[in-house]
Amino acid sequence: MRLPSAQEEPVDLGQTARVKMPASKGGDFSLVGEEFSGYRIEERIGSGGMAVVYRGTHLTLKRPVAIKTLSQRLLENPKAIQRFLNVAKVSSQLSHPNIVQVYDSGVLEEYGIYYLVMEYVEGQSLSDYLKDKGKMPVEIACKMISYIASALNYANKRNIIHRDINPSNILIGAEDVPKLIGLGLAKCLDDEMTALTQPGKGMGMVGYIAPEQLMDATKANHRSDLYALGATFYNVVCGQTPYDTKNMREYFNCIHNRIPPVPPYEMNNEVPRTISDMILKLLEFDIEKRYASAEDFLMELRSYMNPQLRGEGIEKARKQIMAMLPTPKKMADFDFEAIYCPAEEIGGDFYDYIELNEDEFGIVIADITGHGVEAAVVVGMVKAALKIVGKQKTSPNDVVKEVNKEIKPDLDSTTFATVFYGIINRKTKKLRFVRAGHNPLILYNPDRNPPLSTYDPKGMVIGMFTRCICEEKEIQLQQGDCLIQYTDGITEAMNSVQEEFGMDRLYEAIESTQDKGNLRQILENIQNAAKAFTGAEQQQDDITLLGIKVK
């Protein structure tokens, strides 16, 4: 039995109460030696208030996995079961190198026990590291926190907040790369999970809970995660939490009375003032005074870690990326238009046109993580790989698979690319494309019914995993069709009150274009609508728009 997706009917939570459990002397009976669904449980490696964790083996692939089971004493507790199901639901939406991957989920039919099969991380928790070492060297701490900030940024952009960031939920794996776990308290901002949290009750670990979350867990948002990240950063470089207490009453009093933490540089003279100030900004009592997003914090931290992302390095990156953008193509049967607006700290957006053969051409739009020189270098790698492989492979799916295979070994674990790659046949007017983690494709034609459609086949980002699996889609184009692709910079453009431009405003800008058949005017109308929405607010990400029209 598999766990239901968000669209399926809920599980009958009463079923498990009717399953006869084997006798035990107390607590959870051991599942060691059990085989199910292609896995074998090898040994028990840990437990908590809600679950038991085992090391297991994938019997076909012969690789280790972690198998997490809901504690047997909670099998008659509907809320506990629903929280466990929430982990599966939330985790299935996340695919990031610094978040522990969930591979599988279901129910052990014989016992009625819910389970998750996850990536097995050989190492220790950050909590155990701190118990052993006290604190971490500042340079190493900055690198580790940047990984977790990258994971948070990825999750937050998908409307998922963690709500329980602390050292015990960070595993330190191979090559000291951290992995975020503990999604049991995570919340999807656009789903019904809020109902599981009672208003007026806080959630999380003492010392790491944001003030607004402490008062009412339903008020938590992505900036609450930033507070917890700040408390973790503080602990890592200072050897204690900001208020050095595990007592909830003491912690509550510190927060309620707005007692400021001792600055990290005073706790540890090896902490630079710049890093100390970043940590204190994460720990602001007032939510609006913290960083606007994990991405904003990550950019500032990376700038500190890598000065080339500033000044001359930024200008060099700008020139590099601008030089790689193609000039508009003149074609008999198609219009090709693009708009590119780099952010101040230039990001990793790019687009391209690839002449494949007499009948076909390729179109690309991509967004690379990072900014400045780092992003420019990866842009060059991905662009070159797409051009070379695109002329060797006839399937968009095969192209992104091969590109991923080529560039993955050269990227660090926080760098990846979202890519839209399509092939258009001039004669048949057919588009075949994949969406490797990129935004949905928009097709607009006032003569179609409906005039605006979106296409979002599933696909994994490039550069994150050893394999890149994408669903290939084919569309029969017709005269007047406008294909519109874009990067996150447009939909995530923010105004002064931190509202995003979003998809609805993007659709409205397309449909409100005066000359509905003018591709250039459509793209410019989107750009102008975004400018009017954001006003003077400085944007953190490039804005790129790409359009193809069938004449």
3-state secondary structure of 217: helix
Position of tokens 């029969």?
A: 476
Instruction: Decide: 100 and 166 in contact? Cβ < 8 Å.
Output: no
Which of 438, 454, 546, 452 has its CA nearest to residue 508?
452
> Which neighbouring-strand residues pair with 48?
none
Sign of dihedral through CA atoms 42, 58, 46, 80? negative
CA distances from 400 to 369, 385, 420, 440 (A): 17, 9, 9, 17
Indicate the angle between helix axes 138-156 and 294-305, nearest 10 degrees: 150
Which DSSP string corresponds to 471-516? Answer: --EEEE--TT-EEEEE-HHHHT-B-TT--B-HHHHHHHHHHT-SST
Residue 389 corresponds to which tokens in the numbers above? 């492989």
Residue-wise over 90-112: b if at least 16 C-beta within 10 A, else e?
bbeebbbbbbbbbbbbbbbeebb
Reported as half-sphere exposure (CB side, CA atoms, 13 A), residue 479 has a value of 2
CA distance 48 to 87: 15
Indicate the angle between helix axes 294-305 and 222-238, nearest 10 degrees: 30
**Is residue 272 reached through a cis peptide bond, with omega within 30 degrees of 0 on the bond before it?**
no
Contacts with 539 (C-beta within 8 Å, 6 or more apart), sequence order: 343, 344, 489, 493, 494
Position of tokens 């994150």?
A: 464
Instruction: Decide: 206 and 247 in contact? Cβ < 8 Å.
Output: yes
Q: Report the phi/psi class of residue 463: left, alpha or beta, with left for phi > 0 and alpha for psi in -120 to 50.
A: left
3-state secondary structure of 330: strand
Residue 164 a catalytic site member:
yes
Contacts with 387 (C-beta within 8 Å, 6 or more apart), sequence order: 352, 354
How do the residues of the chain divide into helix, strand and coil, expressed in percent and rounded to 5? 35, 25, 40
3-state secondary structure of 421: strand
Burial class for 269, CB neighbours closer than 10 Å (0-12, 13-18, 19+): exposed
Burial class for 410, CB neighbours closer than 10 Å (0-12, 13-18, 19+): exposed
Q: Which of 28, 164, 352, 542 is catalytic?
A: 164
Which amino acids are annotated catalytic? 164
